[in-house]
Homo-oligomer: A and B are copies of this chain.
């Protein structure tokens, strides 16, 4: 008998039940170790096996090429907003930022503290309701890198292609809210980063996948904890890592591998989002906010005719155990965040609830 509710939170977000069950079962004594995963030394064999397996499983899951390092860091995507330019925006060069929403703008603001930046492809004029076309993107020749936000959590848009950047310019992607939600060609990126708390596990661990040649850019004058090269050389163990987070993230990766990998989860995500968008498109009672071609499979944003109606919907939904449907305060409306671990039957039940709500008020 469970009291669990449907959690549409944008992050931290719902986690796979088999992962939660394993974490719970092994919490006090990791099998064969006799201590909690929170108690073991990060220099011990058991922890080396945990972090090693997490890395190896990520390589298998996403086909990460050998010339990429996988790092487990702290500080979330927000610290990456700073670390990316600190490490990669070298003297005399420009960093290009594709402006697709609130988080892209926050990333740009930190880069401006480091050096010269250039903003391109902004869709601000339509409230970031779409991803720019390639012909709207103008990159700086010889840019230090191009920064993109693969999924815009607040605006409900997602890139469904990899933008065309010049051959010699590394593409950096903030993939916090759609990482490993489907197949990804890592080789098209110079660096990918993601806070764990949406698709990878608990908050407090940040995944960074970086092409090795880019490590040469990290200046020796950088502070130790802000230097990708130091973390890479030490296998993410320069200092004590967020051990519980790495462990749990590793279990989430194993759960993905056991459930069809990235192609498998993509099919599920397309089906889940497809059902919800179909309902939003059905009668005109609801107004999905993202442009059709840019719709996110992870964050489904929508409005109702009036704010009063929206308030009523959120209130009734919460009472019916659909939690976290309120849109981000910056944009209002509703948002259903339906990451990898969100169960498909939760979508079916939400759609049924929405249909009832429409029948009463429509």
User: What is A's interface to B at a CB cutoff of 8 Å?
Assistant: 2-5, 7, 9-15, 17, 20-21, 23-24, 27-29, 34-36, 38-42, 44, 74-79, 81-82, 86, 109-110, 113, 195, 197, 201-205, 221, 223-226, 238-245, 248, 321, 323-324
Is the pair B203, A12 in contact by a Cβ cutoff of 8 Å? no
Chain A to chain B: the 10 pairs with minimum beta-carbon distance, closest first: A204-B242, A74-B74, A38-B202, A82-B223, A78-B239, A24-B27, A5-B34, A9-B41, A79-B225, A203-B240
Is the pair B34, A4 in contact by a Cβ cutoff of 8 Å? yes
| Number of chain copies forming the complex | 2
CB distance from A238 to the nearest CB of B (A): 7
Inter-chain CA distance A201–B221, complex, in Å, is 32
| 5 A-B residue pairings within 8 Å (CB atoms) | A9-B40, A14-B35, A20-B38, A79-B225, A242-B242
CB distance from A41 to the nearest CB of B (A): 4
Given contacts A224-B78, A244-B244, contact A20 B5 (CB under 8 A): no
CB distance from A271 to the nearest CB of B (A): 22
Q: Identify 9 new A-B residue pairs, CB closer than 8 A, beyond the known A12-B40, A82-B224.
A: A2-B34, A9-B40, A12-B41, A12-B243, A74-B76, A82-B225, A195-B240, A202-B244, A203-B241
Q: Which residue of B lies closest to A5 (CB)?
A: B34
Given contacts A24-B24, A28-B24, A78-B225, contact A39 B7 (CB under 8 A): yes
CB distance from A26 to the nearest CB of B (A): 9
Is the pair A39, B27 in contact by a Cβ cutoff of 8 Å? no
